[in-house]
């Protein structure tokens, strides 16, 4: 747990630096210098590329997460052939998938007939997908070598600085949207270069090597496992992107642009979750290898608690200030207030169940349940999105996510309790859920009765600042006094003692 706590702190600090840059990009620049249709195009690019990359990589990332500890233990860095194998198989998968896409582009374009800008630039999707796929493989390798802080710098800071730079060049009329989009799709290729550089710098790692004896011995386990997650990964990613795809097809890119901005607010709350998951994966893998169930249970409890108090706190700050925050956006985006609320409630359900997905996917006996639950989720989300979007528009996509993820997490949590007798719900976590729901109830009243702020920029900033300061104090005191999080209490008391001693 020492590794998790230490690297989570570093990763979170880096992530919040990225958050500031991302807020400038998403709230101040993109809505004002790109049309709503162009913003939607960026969102749909990701919604298409991420599932296609998940299919193409044939479960390579899961193979790295599961088997890299064995390679590191039994082989020197220069003899580890796992990267070569995963990249070659992924490239074959990529070629196969895009041959299918090319043969069926008529039907794809027909579905997106209300999104002509997407059809116009669809030829960039393969390049964007390939860059993301290869970048994800080497990101997993960096995580496997515990270069989690470097991963945070690349994904949370460098990518956002890259996007900030190219948006500013667009804003200053250095080029048109056509050129901007062609530069944007290069982003993940930059990440790929940086991840490879890190591996070369820190280890005696080499990409081109012969097939090892270890691979020959464990291939009968590794390839079925990877093949199985060829299905699992695409269902998992498709579940997060299906709303954007369906919304773009049914209502056009403008609504997808609104959904992209709304989703950004939820992405902000996911920063602690991403850091916890990122550093937990290798530790969970080691715990399964050692069959250390006590450590798995501690990780389960701690991950749920830390995701809840950190992610829940950020979500509450957003709800508290939502009327002032939306004032920074053009009026066409003000419809996303309740979309943010519903999507945030869905994520809170996810946070409360901790790293259940990783515990399942890295288990030798229980990993198939990860696949089955993802299938159930996608089977739910496709019709839910179609019918709810037809009935309620963009609000319907948020409602579909809430219902789908509620069922999904109930299934996973119940299975882990029945199969392994572990649960994320201890006394502290239940108390924390109660505190968060109490504040959500208060802030929902404010959201319902008061419209988006019409105050000027300076007043909005000051109002957000002072309200947030008061809430921080009240929230921390509530968590500490009620004993809802040992980590928050330790953080609060240790800093209090330090300040007291400093000024004694």
Q: How confident is the model at residue 2 (pLDDT cuts 50, 70, 90)?
A: low
> Higher model confidence: residue 32 or residue 286?
32
Percentage, residues of the chain above pLDDT 90: 39
* Look-up of token digits 């229980």: 366
Element (H, E) at 261: helix 253-269
Percentage, residues of the chain above pLDDT 70: 94
Gap between the Cα atoms of 153 and 142, Å rounded:
12
Q: Is the dihedral of CA 238, 243, 246, 247 positive or negative?
A: negative
Tally the domains of the chain: 1
**Nearest-CA neighbor of 136 among 47, 223, 51?**
51
For residue 283, the model assigns a pLDDT of 80
pLDDT, tens digit, 9 for 90 and up, residues 155-210: 889 999 999 999 999 999 999 999 999 999 999 999 999 999 998 888 877 776 78
Cα–Cα–Cα angle for 72, 76, 78, rounded to 5 degrees: 115
For residue 493, the model assigns a pLDDT of 67
Residue 286: how many CB atoms within 10 A of its CB? 15
> Higher model confidence: residue 58 or residue 410?
410
Of 16-25, 133-142, 407-416, 487-496, the one with minimum mean pLDDT is 487-496
For residue 235, the model assigns a pLDDT of 76
Average per-residue pLDDT in the chain? 86
Gap between the Cα atoms of 61 and 80, Å rounded:
15
Q: H-type helices in 57-123, by residue range?
A: 60-74, 82-103, 105-111, 116-120
Strands (E), 275-382: none
**Nearest-CA neighbor of 115 among 215, 41, 21, 11?**
41
**Nearest-CA neighbor of 401 among 273, 258, 263?**
263
Q: How confident is the model at residue 7 (pLDDT cuts 50, 70, 90)?
A: low
pLDDT, tens digit, 9 for 90 and up, residues 62-92: 888 888 888 888 888 778 888 888 899 899 9
Find the domain containing 205 and state its range. Answer: 2-502
pLDDT, tens digit, 9 for 90 and up, residues 299-322: 888 888 889 998 999 999 999 999
For residue 9, the model assigns a pLDDT of 66
Evaluate if residue 348 carries a pLDDT over 80: yes
Gap between the Cα atoms of 234 and 49, Å rounded:
11
pLDDT, tens digit, 9 for 90 and up, residues 257-314: 999 999 989 988 887 887 788 777 778 877 887 777 888 888 888 888 889 998 999 9
Burial class (CB in 10 A: 0-12, 13-18, 19+), 355: buried
pLDDT, tens digit, 9 for 90 and up, residues 365-424: 787 787 788 888 888 998 999 999 999 999 999 999 999 989 999 999 999 999 888 888
pLDDT, tens digit, 9 for 90 and up, residues 93-125: 999 999 999 898 888 899 999 999 999 999 999
Burial class (CB in 10 A: 0-12, 13-18, 19+), 86: buried
């Amino acid at each position: 747990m020492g590794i998790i706590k230490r690297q989570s702190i570093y990763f979170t600090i880096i992530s919040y630096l990225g958050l500031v840059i991302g807020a400038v990009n998403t709230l101040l620049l993109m809505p004002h210098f790109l049309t709503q249709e162009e913003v939607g195009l960026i969102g749909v690019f990701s919604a298409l590329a991420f599932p296609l990359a998940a299919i193409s990589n044939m479960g390579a990332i899961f193979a790295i997460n599961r088997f890299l500890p064995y390679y590191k233990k039994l082989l020197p860095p220069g003899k580890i052939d796992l990267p070569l194998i995963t990249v070659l198989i992924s490239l074959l998968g990529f070629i196969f998938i895009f041959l299918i896409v090319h043969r069926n582009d008529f039907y794809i374009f027909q579905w997106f007939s209300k999104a002509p800008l997407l059809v116009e630039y669809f030829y960039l999707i393969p390049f964007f997908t390939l860059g993301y796929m290869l970048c994800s493989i080497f990101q997993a390798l960096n995580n496997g070598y515990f270069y989690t802080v470097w991963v945070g710098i690349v994904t949370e800071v460098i990518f956002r600085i890259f996007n900030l730079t190219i948006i500013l060049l667009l804003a200053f009329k250095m080029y048109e949207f056509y050129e901007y989009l062609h530069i944007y799709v290069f982003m993940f290729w930059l990440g790929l270069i940086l991840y490879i550089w890190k591996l070369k710098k820190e280890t005696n790692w080499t990409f081109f090597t012969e097939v090892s004896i270890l691979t020959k011995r464990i291939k009968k386990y590794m390839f079925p496992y990877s093949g199985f997650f060829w299905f699992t990964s695409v269902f998992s990613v498709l579940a997060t992107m299906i709303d954007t795809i369906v919304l773009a097809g049914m209502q056009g890119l403008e609504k997808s642009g609104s959904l992209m901005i709304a989703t950004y607010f939820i992405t902000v709350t996911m920063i602690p979750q991403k850091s916890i998951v990122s550093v937990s994966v290798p530790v969970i893998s080691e715990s399964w290898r050692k069959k250390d169930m006590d450590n798995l249970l501690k990780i389960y409890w701690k991950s749920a608690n830390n995701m809840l108090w950190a992610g829940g706190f950020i979500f509450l700050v957003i709800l508290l200030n939502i009327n002032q925050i939306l004032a920074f956006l053009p009026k066409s985006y003000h419809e996303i207030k309740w979309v943010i609320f519903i999507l945030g409630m869905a994520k809170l359900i996810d946070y409360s169940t901790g790293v259940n997905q990783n515990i399942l996917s890295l288990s030798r006996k229980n990993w198939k349940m990860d696949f089955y639950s993802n299938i159930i989720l996608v089977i739910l989300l496709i019709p839910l999105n179609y019918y709810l979007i037809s009935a309620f528009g963009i609000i319907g996509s948020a409602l579909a996510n809430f219902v789908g993820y509620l069922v999904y997490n109930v299934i996973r949590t119940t299975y882990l309790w029945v199969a392994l007798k572990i649960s994320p719900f201890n006394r502290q976590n239940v108390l924390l859920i109660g505190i968060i729901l109490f504040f959500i109830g208060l802030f929902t009243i404010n959201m319902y009765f008061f419209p988006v702020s019409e105050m000027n920029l300076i007043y909005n900033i000051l109002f957000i600042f002072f309200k947030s300061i008061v809430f921080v104090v009240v929230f921390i005191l509530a968590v500490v006094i009620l004993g809802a999080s040992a980590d928050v209490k330790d953080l609060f008391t240790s800093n209090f003692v330090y300040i007291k001693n400093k000024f004694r």
